C-alpha cells in the first residue's frame, strides 16, 4: 500500500456535544505539533482552540474538522450529526510496511472505507498498528494491550483517555506489540476514536469474530461518563 502524500496537509476531527467540543485543547495541540514538525509552521493554539469553540457553539451534536494545508493555512468546519457512529466495526487487514505515521494526513485515499467497515493496518511482520480511523485495543485473559506509540501510529487523544480510565478502573492495560496471531485468540477487540468513542470490533476478515465483552463495555461507559462531565477541555 502506498504511503500518504505529505504535501496534502494534515487534519484533526473532534466531537461536539451540547454546543461544546470534546477534548479541544488536546486535539488542537496534536494538530499544531504535526504542523510544526512537518511544515515548520507555528500555529496560535489559543486562537485555534477559540475558533473550534466558536464553530461548536449552538450545535447539539456535530463533528468539527480542522485542516492545515501548505499554502492555504488553517480551516475549521463543523458538520451536524444526526447521531454518533456507534455500531460494531468490521475490519479488513491491510499491510503497511512502516505504518501510516504519527500525523493525521489529509490524504486518506488508500484507507477509505465506509463505516462500519475499516482497515486494520499491520506491518510487514504482521504486527497490529492501528485502524484507518482509530486506535485498536485487544483484550486477552483480562488484560488490555494496545500497540505502542513508536512513531508508526497516530497518538490518539481518545486512546490516551481510555488508557487513563482503564487504570482508574483497575483494569490491567499496557502498550506492547500485538501479532495478528494474538488477535485471533483475543476475547474482545475494540477501537477508539474522537467521534465514536469506544466501539466494539465484531469481526476481522479472515482473522476472527468477537463479542462485546465486559472490558469493552466498562471502557465505553467510563469514557461516555468522562466526556459528559468534561466536554469542554478533556
Give residue-wise pLDDT tens across range 27-61: 999 999 999 999 999 999 999 999 999 999 999 99
CATH of domain 6-80: 3.30.470.10
| The CATH number of domain 89-229 is 3.40.50.980 | no
Task: Point out which residues pair with 78 in neighbouring strands.
Answer: 64
Tracing cell 477508539 back to the chain, one arrives at 192
Quote the pTM value: 0.94
Residue 233: the pLDDT is 47
SS3 20: strand
Domains in the chain: boundaries: 6-80, 89-229
Q: Is the pLDDT of residue 231 over 50?
A: no
183-1-160 Cα angle (round to 5): 50
Q: Is the pLDDT of residue 104 over 70?
A: yes
Residues 6+ apart with CB under 8 A from 84: 15, 61, 195, 196, 197
Each residue of 79-95: pLDDT tens digit?
999 999 999 999 999 99
Task: Point out which residues pair with 139 in neighbouring strands.
Answer: 144, 188
SS3 111: coil
Amino acid at each position: 500500500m502506498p504511503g500518504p502524500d505529505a504535501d496534502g496537509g494534515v487534519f484533526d476531527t473532534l466531537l461536539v456535544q451540547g454546543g461544546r467540543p470534546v477534548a479541544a485543547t488536546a486535539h488542537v495541540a496534536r494538530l499544531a505539533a504535526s504542523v510544526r514538525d512537518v511544515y515548520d509552521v507555528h500555529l496560535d493554539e489559543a486562537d485555534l482552540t477559540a475558533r473550534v469553540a466558536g464553530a461548536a457553539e449552538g450545535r447539539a451534536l456535530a463533528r468539527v474538522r480542522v485542516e492545515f494545508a501548505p499554502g492555504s493555512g488553517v480551516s475549521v468546519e463543523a458538520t451536524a450529526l444526526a447521531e454518533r457512529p456507534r455500531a460494531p466495526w468490521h475490519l479488513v487487514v491491510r499491510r503497511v510496511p512502516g505504518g501510516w505515521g504519527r500525523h493525521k494526513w489529509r490524504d486518506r485515499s488508500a484507507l477509505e472505507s465506509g463505516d462500519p467497515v475499516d482497515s486494520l493496518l499491520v506491518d510487514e511482520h504482521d504486527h497490529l498498528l492501528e485502524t484507518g480511523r482509530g486506535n485498536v485495543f485487544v483484550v486477552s485473559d483480562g488484560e488490555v494491550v494496545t500497540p505502542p506509540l513508536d512513531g508508526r501510529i497516530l497518538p490518539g487523544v481518545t486512546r490516551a483517555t481510555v488508557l487513563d480510565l482503564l487504570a482508574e478502573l483497575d483494569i490491567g492495560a499496557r502498550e506492547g506489540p500485538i501479532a495478528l496471531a494474538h488477535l485471533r485468540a483475543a476475547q474482545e477487540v475494540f477501537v477508539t476514536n474522537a467521534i465514536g468513542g469506544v466501539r466494539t470490533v465484531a469481526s476481522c476478515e479472515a482473522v476472527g469474530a468477537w463479542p462485546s465483552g465486559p472490558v469493552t463495555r466498562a471502557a465505553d461507559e467510563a469514557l461516555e461518563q468522562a466526556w459528559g462531565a468534561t466536554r469542554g477541555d478533556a
